[in-house]
Amino acid sequence: MKILVLPGDGIGPEIVAAGLRVLESVNEARGLGLTFEHDDVGFASLKKHGTTFREELLDRARTFDGAILGPQDNLNYPPPEEGGVNISARFRIGLDLYANARPARTRPGVAKGKEGLDLVVMRELTEGFYADRNLYMGTGEFMPTPDIAMSMRKVTAKGCERIARAAFELAMKRRKKVTAVNKINVMKMTDGLYMEQVYKVAKEFPEVELDDVLIDAMTAYLVRDPSRFDVVLATNMYGDILSDLASELSGSLGLAGSTMASEDLCFAQAQHGSAPDIEGQDKANPTSLIHSISMLLTWLAEKHGRDDLHEAAKAIDAAVDEALSKPETRTADLGGPLGTKAFADKVIELLG
């Protein structure tokens, strides 16, 4: 199996290198048969090619079984006409990576973690409020006059149906509960269409309990008692916000794994940003990217029927949990002494 590696910006090269070392360790020890190829995106690509994202990367990515994508510094990219392309958005639309799985759970010993938290946010990635990706041509954000700015939200039956199905299928592997987040009391047509598809899919999964909660109430419930949630289903922007909240409640955004997938391809991608303020200082917590890589292995295992990939993913997660369980083997953001490289070293050591 071939994995495409795209380091990205800021702390991206550091955490991708750390995660890749962990993956290479289990690959060699367990004979997984994974091979790796690197390419440039972000500022490295802008310097070499005049754009943060080369269109040929879409075709190249299709020839791989999976990919590892580092964080991007979209805020500081030049305008699109000067080569500043949103990399994640381009991959998501170009490869139809519609399903974003973002787990959050309390780990033993991480003091800031909210007790009983163990959920997955299943977020739709290709439409919704994200104006840079919801139209065929142009964006959903525009200014008819200099003092008026407008934005459109796109919600399709197909998009809602397939992300709902992904959520219910995941719930069947977990605790069999889906919470569909919406604001149907205000956005009656768009969230109305979304909930219509959710209830339609729910009929195919009678074993799964379905609850629906308004987005504003959901933030309060998540802080008050996160243990009540299993799979949280959400459209694009709601899912983005809720997953960051859930991850911080788990102890740190640096712990949050993430994958974005189509039916045919999966990307491992840290949930957090590029943190340029600590770039090159060996301070970044690589846990998010390492966990994302284990999620990629699980996705590949299920797609290709590979039990060895399942076992490798579980071994990585167990090693990370063991490292995080002790203050002396945590990174600085969690009160520990280790840097990025040293934490990866410890995980590899625990993997044996």
Active-site residue numbers?
A: 130, 183, 216, 240, 244
Angstrom distance (rounded) from CA 9 to CA 16: 10
CB 279 within 8 A of CB 11: yes
Query: Which residues are CB-neighbours of 111 under 8 A, at least 6 positions away?
Result: 251, 335
Query: Which residues are CB-neighbours of 75 under 8 A, at least 6 positions away?
Result: none
Long-range contacts for 48-51 (Cβ within 8 Å, ≥24 apart)? 50/83, 51/83, 51/85
CB 340 within 8 A of CB 348: no
- Give the CA distances from residue 154 to residues 135, 216, 279, in Å, rounded to whole numbers and listed in that order: 8, 21, 36
Angstrom distance (rounded) from CA 288 to CA 23: 14
Angstrom distance (rounded) from CA 144 to CA 136: 19
Look at strands 231-234 and 148-151 and give their pairing. unpaired
DSSP state of 325: T
Lookup: tokens for 43: 């500022």
Q: Which amino acid is at 322?
A: E
Query: Which residues are CB-neighbours of 264 under 8 A, at least 6 positions away?
Result: 62
Q: Which amino acid is at 64?
A: F
